[in-house]
Structure formats: C-alpha cells, structure tokens
Amino acid sequence: MEKQKILIVDDSEMNRALLVDILDDQYDVVEAENGTEAVSILSQHRTDFSLLLLDIMMPEMDGFEVLAYINKYHWNDTFAVIMISADDSPQNIKRAYDLGAFDYISRPFDPTIVQRRISNTMFLYARQQRLEKIIAEQFSEQEKNNKLMISVLSHIVEFRNGESGLHVLRVNAITKCLLKQLTRKTDKYPLSKADISLISTASALHDIGKISIPGEILNKPGRLTPEEFEVMKTHSAIGSQMLLELPAEQQEAPIVQVASEICRWHHERYDGKGYPDGLQGEEIPISAQVVALADVYDALTSERCYKKAYTHEDALKMILEGQCGTFNPLLLECLQEIADTLSTELTDVSTEQGLKNNIQAVRGKIDYDRLFSYEKYTVLSRKQRHLQLLYIDSLTNVYNRRYYDEHFESAEDAEAVVVIDADNFKQINDNYGHTAGDTVLQGIAQMILSCVRKSDAVIRYGGDEFVIVFSNIPADVFKKKLERIRAAIDLLTIEKYPEIHISVSIGGVYGKGKTKELFTVADNMMYQAKARKNFVTIQFLSADIGEEREGDLL
C-alpha cells in the first residue's frame, strides 16, 4: 500500500530532520521551510496529503497565517493540521484550535507519542472521509434509482397512453424553467432549489391516473363523447388517490405529497373552471399550477396525430387567449419570458432521447390543425366534426382511405409504411356472419392502435386491409413493433366468438421516399408474408435508391 503523505512545515532544519527521523519509516514525508512554501505546495498537491505538521513561529508566513488560509479555503476538509511548537503558551494553543488545528504537539518530541498521535489522527480522518464517501455514493445511487423508478413509471403511463416518452421529459423541463423564472421574478412562493427539483421530478407522475382509464377511451383517435370525457376526467383524482393509498410512511415523503397535489390538480384552472375540485387562484398549489401550464404548453407545441406542432408564438397566443383555460397571470408572464431558454432546453430533451434524427415527420406539411379533440381542452367545432366524419372510418374508428389519399398519397418524405392484411378474413365472414367480421376488424384496429404511438397514423385502407404510416422511428424499433402487432393479434380473442382465431400478414418497408412508392413495396412484402400467413416481411431501403436489403423477422 502506498504510504500516506505528511507535510512538515518548520523553519528549523534540525526540527524537521528530527520529525523526519521519527516519521519516515511509516510515512512519505515532504518538508517546507516556511508558511509560504507550505501554501504553495498545498495549493497544487493538497489532496496528496493526509496530515500537516505546522510550526507557529516562521519567517514570511507564520503558522497562524497558514492555518487561517487553510481554514478559509476548507483545505482541512481533506487533511488534519497538527501544530508543533516550542511555544506552548495556552493562548497560542487556543488560537491554533480556533483557527481549525486538529491537535497540538509540544516539544520536546517523544517519537512514540508523536507517532501515536499522528496515526490516530490519520485513522480518524481517513475513517471520516471514507464514511463521507460511502454516504455520498449511496445517496447518489439512491437518487439515480429514484429517478429511474419514476421514469419507468411514467414511461408505463405514456406507453399505455400512446404518447411518445418525450412528453414526460418535456413537461419536466418546462416545469423546471417556469419555476426558476418564477423565483427570479417574485418571492411570493417560497421555493428553494430543492423544491424546484422536487416538483419537476414529481411532474413525471402527473398522468399516472390514466392507468385506470379504459384503453378504448384513452386511445380513441376520434372525439370523446361527453360520457367518455367524464371518464377521462377521473384520471386526475384517481392518480392522486393511488398515491394517497400508499402506506402512511411513504405518503409522508415530500415527493409523494407533491406528486399527489400535481396529479389531483393539474387540470384545475385559475378561474375555478377546471376539474376535479374547481379550485380557484392560489387554492391550487403552485406545483399543480405550473405543471398544468407545462402540460398544456407541451401538448400545443408537440406534434400529435391530430395536429402539427404549434410554434412557441402560436401556442403562447392560444394560451393567452384562454383557449386552454385560465392560468395564473404571473406564470403566463414567466412563460413569455423563458421562450429562449425553453427552446434550447426542449431541444436538449429530444436530442438526449436520440429522436432527433434526420427523418422528417411524414405529415409535417399538412395543415390539419385541431382536427380532432384532444383529451380535455376543446369542444369540437362544427368544422372539426365535419372533418371527423370525413376522415374517420366509422366502423373501426381509425383514419379512413380518404384521409390516406388526401394527406399521404402524394407526400414525398414518407419514412416507413406498413400494410396489414387479415388472414382468412373471408372465411370468418362466411362462417360467422358479417357482424362477427366487423367485430374482428374492430379488434384488429384497436390492437394495432394500442401497439403504435399517437404520432403514427393507422388507416383502414379497405376491407380487411390496414395501413400504418410511421414517423420518426428507428429501424430496430420498427422491426420490433411489427412483430409485436403480429403477435398481439395472434393472441387476440373476440369475446362473443371465442372460437375465432385471427392472424394477420404484415408487409413493411423502411426507408425514405414517396408514400405511393413505399406503399407498393410494403404491399408486395405483405403478399410475400401472406404465403406463410401470420408472418412479417420487411424490406429496408438504404439511403441510395436502388440498393435494397431484404430481411424478415422470424
């Protein structure tokens, strides 16, 4: 083992030599002949040393000055200082202790005592440092695990919710920015840095109540009926209830308390027109107020299957006009003030996720703003209802052929297209009747919907044929997703017709191009898969047209 290092600071060479003689068997000893030299050695290599033996009376910079300097910069956090002096007047000893000396050894030096004193001191110091390190490591490990658990939890919610995992991260980032700006602006809300971090972390749980919302409602692409909307609205109270049912000692944890507030009240509005409790103004905890605004802002500025992403300016305008309910005016000011920070923070979030790839969103150019209602905010206008009738397949509730034709057919920057065809569908119709066939189609559509993200478009292309247009999806995820859809449908059972077994053949194409062309490739792949049934075939197009790589999954 490497010897511990001791620095001896004494202007008398004799005295240093004596100490070196006592110590150099056990320790690596370095000498300095005055305070200035000691400080200069320490300023460069202080972490090397475990102990400092310091004389008081020295030229240039005396022992007290050295001590004061060490104390000022907290260098004695990592090593102990033991004073050595011929002058052991009580005042001097007291002054040395006041200045942070750990111990005092007076002359004449008795080697045995000096060695013991020093080894005990070092032992104590080393032990303390080791304990500190252990605690710090445990703390950071725990922090990491906590964050991980929370992100797993929120990922589960999002997964079921069909949203991209980015929403949680973005709400977290926006919440943090808003709170920071809020504390810069006013001291109305006593928020420490720790509080800000707590609220931002807890914000990840804002939608956990959605776990309890039936999938048909949660992922319904069309407008929710008033009854369905009422069900949807229960998610905030349920989320908070779930947390309140935790064992008492867990409930007391600040993160749980804050998360519970956020869950319950992130749909409250400043004017009292929100839900579930219709709280007004400052009755709503600031945590929930901020997350509510972050949630709305992110919903507006992110792309969803029913709308493109609004710019910051447009989103802000809509929020300020009260289109998404009323918010705390102070928070609205904050939101306006943090535009720049937000755009960088949010870019960071998406870059971190590796989702910012070079593939353009397929539907980026199409204006179908506010085509469909989203969860909670809007009641459909007549125009929207009209659009819904126009573009939604009435049987399966996914997009219809018209929607595909008008919005995708001629797009040039499609990325991944999938054609799905039910196997032996005609037999089902023939054997069980058309009602059974319809139910099967609904089941397939729902199953496909539950396997894709909200940003992917599911279209009933015709009869028993479905098309999915994916955007921004990595190749490996694409592969896995198609396999998952196949497997899920393979396991699908229809309540009224338990004897019916359904399977699909899936053809996919991955690569950039015109939708029309990609569709043809995907359709071909589907026919190849059809030869085996219950099978997936994918063609990966490389960037250069003409070069193709084929691969299937099973």
Partner 1 sequence: MTLKDCYTRLGGDYDEVLGRLRREQTVQKFVFKFLDDKSFDLFEVSMDSKDYGEALRAVHTIKGICQNLSFTKLYESSEAATKALKENDYEKAAAMRPQLSDDYSQTVSAIEEYKQSGEG
Interaction site with partner 1 (CB under 8 A): 11-15, 17-18, 21, 57-59, 85-87, 107-111
Q: Which of 483, 485, 543 is nearest to 510 (CA)?
A: 543
Question: 59 or 462, CB closer to partner 1?
Answer: 59
List beta partners, residue 420.
466, 506
For partner 1, the closer of residues 87 and 277 by Cβ is: 87
Radius of gyration of the chain (CA): 34
Which residue is listed with tokens 């992917």? 456
Q: Whose Cβ is closer to partner 1: residue 110's or residue 230's?
A: 110
Q: Provide, rounded to whole angstroms, the least separation between the CB of residue 36 and partner 1.
A: 15
Task: Provide the minimum distance between the beta carbon of 89 and partner 1 in the complex, in angstroms, as a whole number.
Answer: 9
Which string of b and e fits 330-352 if b means at least 16 CB within 10 Å?
Answer: bbbebbebbeebbeebbeebbee
- Give 21 or 369: the residue with its C-beta nearer to partner 1: 21
Q: What are the structure tokens assigned to 405, written together?
A: 């034709």
The one-letter amino acid at 465: E
Give Cα separations from 431 to 189, 437, 463, 493, 530 (angstroms). Answer: 68, 9, 17, 16, 21
Which lies closer to partner 1 via its Cβ, residue 108 or residue 226?
Answer: 108
The angle at the Cα of 62, spanning 57 to 68, to the nearest 5 degrees, equals: 130
CB nearer partner 1, residue 62 or residue 216 = 62
Report the C-alpha gap between 411 and 415 in whole angstroms: 10
Distance CA(263)–CA(458), nearest Å, equals 31
Nearer to partner 1 by Cβ, of 87 and 195: the residue is 87
Smallest separation, CB 183 to partner 1 (Å): 54
Nearest to 48 by CA among 73, 68, 29, 26: 29
- To partner 1, the closest distance from the beta carbon of 114 in angstroms equals 10
- Residue 122 CB, shortest distance to partner 1, in Å, is 22
CB 460 within 8 A of CB 393: yes
- Residues 401, 465: Cα–Cα separation, whole Å: 10
CB of 198 to partner 1, least distance (A): 57
Residues 6 or more apart whose CB falls under 8 angstroms from that of 174 comprise 293, 294, 297, 298, 342, 345, 346
Nearest to 518 by CA among 451, 471, 463, 460: 471
Q: How far is the CB of 177 from partner 1 (least distance, A)?
A: 60
Q: How far is the CB of 124 from partner 1 (least distance, A)?
A: 25
Q: Supply the minimum distance, in Å, between the C-beta of residue 12 and partner 1.
A: 4
Q: For residues 63 and 221, which CB has a smaller minimum distance to partner 1 in the complex?
A: 63
Question: What amino acid occupies position 177?
Answer: C
Measured distance CA(44)–CA(159) in Å, rounded: 52
Q: CB-wise, 32 or 208, nearer to partner 1?
A: 32
Among residues 9 and 359, whose Cβ is nearest to partner 1? 9
CA atoms within 13 A on the CB side of 363: 28
φ, ψ of residue 282 to 5 degrees: the values are -75, 0
Q: How far is the CB of 92 from partner 1 (least distance, A)?
A: 11
* Least distance between partner 1 and beta carbon 133 (Å): 38
Strands (E), 57-191: 80-85, 103-106
| Chain centre distance of CA 72 | 39
Report the residue number, 15 or 200, with the smaller CB distance to partner 1. Answer: 15
Indicate the residue among 16 and 304 with the shorter CB distance to partner 1.
16
Q: Name the helix (H) or strand (E) containing 54.
A: strand 49-55
Specify the 3-state DSSP secondary structure of 29. strand
Instruction: Give the separation between CA 339 and CA 324, rounded to whole angstroms.
Output: 19
